[in-house]
Amino acid sequence: MEGMNVRLISGRTAVQGQNLDSKLTEKYFGEVARCDMNGNDMEKLGVAKEDTVKVTTAYGAVIVKAKQDDGNPEGMVFIPMGPWCNAVISGDTHGAGMPSFKGVDATVEKTAEAVLPVKELMRTYMG
């Protein structure tokens, strides 16, 4: 199906915090390269847990794994703060010093593409 228009936010999680100093591990990868969505939104997109989704903003696109969290209202998705979320965040602070890490207009769609491991993700910024 077509991509769904959503608002993207990010934030800390406990497991993300536990692996702040071990960001190159599988545990961090599993926790942070994911996207929490309301179950209804997942249904609309036809994605199940562990399926990959592509999140696209005006500033880039990133592949993450879908995870259900009904604490999220419909139309909003949450990616834990970290490299994957930041792949689609603007560097422009509009003179305020703070990028817009939350409340970014995005589209989410189901994809067959795989999630990039962190080192490969970093490499996309090079050259």
Q: Are the C-beta atoms of 77 and 69 separated by less than 8 Å?
A: no
What are the distances in angstroms from CA 65 to CA 76, 96, 99? 15, 32, 24
Query: Using CB under 8 A, which of 26, 48, 49, 93 touches other proteins?
Result: 93
Q: Which stretch binds other proteins (CB under 8 A): 46-54, 69-77, 106-114?
A: 69-77
Asked whether position 92 contacts other proteins by CB under 8 A, the answer is yes
Side chain identity at 116, as an amino acid letter? L
Q: Rule CB under 8 A: say whether 26 interacts with other proteins.
A: no
Minimum CB distance to other proteins smaller for 53 or for 121 = 121
Contact flag: residue 9 with other proteins (CB under 8 A) = yes
Q: Tell me how many residues contact other proteins (CB under 8 A).
A: 55
What is the number of other CB atoms lying within 10 angstroms of the CB of residue 2?
7
Q: How far apart are CA 34 and CA 36, in angstroms?
A: 7
Quick one: which of 1, 21, 50, 112 contacts other proteins (CB under 8 A)? 21
Is 124 buried (19+), middle (13-18) or exposed (0-12) by CB count in 10 A? exposed
Does residue 56 interact with other proteins by CB under 8 A?
Answer: no
- List beta partners, residue 6: 106
Judged by beta carbon, residue 1 or residue 97, the one nearer other proteins is: 97
Compute the least distance from the CB of residue 48 to other proteins, in Å.
21
Closest CA to 79 of 103, 110, 99: 103
Pick the closer one to other proteins by CB: 3 or 99: 99
